[in-house]
Copies of this chain bind each other. A is one copy, B any other.
């Protein structure tokens, strides 16, 4: 559930009154973009990176953002203050707007939602994620659009496969999870796919890390390489670096959080709390 107040076009509404007219192009044509950032103790984390991506996604989809960066930051801060929730996830959602004919763009609607975030999950037990591979290439992968049609449709499939999440591949070449980037460790190299993915903010931080005993590279690899993988993890705003211990029912490494994953996870915590 979103918090008590929601911002729509820079006006605050109670969550139960936060509504959008049925002619919005997100409803009719799944047309919109978004971004999602963390706020910890009232400090937004990597907000400039998220804003960079948000405004870029908007531009790529020909959507005007009614607020400039300074105004948008103020809108986020006001929402956080009004809701009185110092630690949360903030979702910025920009739709195709009210469409006269249900097909052509209108003036975009900007919705900002706050979701309480439980930071206890930073101390989650060391269970690791189970993934199941699926052959699918997201359209416009570099843009953070609202297109999660396949991901949501795959929920029953995931359940059937006893998996926590899906790992997409494009006719064999591994790309990403629906809401996270994917990394593996092969020999002493930490590798993450280079092409046809959304370039996550957390992923970009990891690519700049120095990890003792390992090199880091962006490089495509395939499902056939998975038997050689010693460690695997995903990165995302909410999950930091989180271990993957099983893919398609086969254990990765010894099924525990590996040393490279641990180092990266700790560096991400440090970087986050240094913000």
Chain A interface residues toward B at CB < 8 A: 1-2, 6, 8, 16, 18-32, 34, 61-62, 91, 93, 95-96, 100-105, 111, 113, 115, 136, 139-140, 145-153, 155-156, 179
Q: Identify 17 new A-B residue pairs, CB closer than 8 A, beyond the known A26-B27, A26-B30, A103-B179.
A: A2-B22, A19-B19, A22-B111, A27-B93, A28-B34, A28-B91, A29-B146, A30-B145, A30-B149, A61-B153, A96-B152, A101-B115, A102-B115, A104-B155, A139-B150, A140-B153, A147-B147
Question: Min CB distance, A236 to chain B, in Å?
Answer: 12
- 5 A-B pairs with C-beta separation under 8 A: A25-B152, A28-B93, A28-B148, A29-B146, A139-B149
With a cutoff of 8 Å between Cβ atoms, the chain B residues found around residue A113 in the complex are 22-23, 102
A40–B91 CA distance with the chains assembled, in angstroms: 44
Is B20 a contact partner of A20 (Cβ separation < 8 A)? yes
Is B23 a contact partner of A2 (Cβ separation < 8 A)? yes
With a cutoff of 8 Å between Cβ atoms, the chain B residues found around residue A28 in the complex are 34, 91, 93, 146, 148
A20–B111 CA distance with the chains assembled, in angstroms: 13
A233–B17 CA distance with the chains assembled, in angstroms: 46
Q: How many copies does the complex hold?
A: 2
Chain A contact residues: over half helix, strand or loop, or mixed? mixed
Q: Which residue of the partner chain B has the closest CB to A27?
A: B26
A1–B34 CA distance with the chains assembled, in angstroms: 26
A113–B101 CA distance with the chains assembled, in angstroms: 11
Question: Min CB distance, A20 to chain B, in Å?
Answer: 6
A36–B148 CA distance with the chains assembled, in angstroms: 23
With a cutoff of 8 Å between Cβ atoms, the chain B residues found around residue A155 in the complex are 62, 104-105
Is B29 a contact partner of A149 (Cβ separation < 8 A)? yes
A150–B148 CA distance with the chains assembled, in angstroms: 14
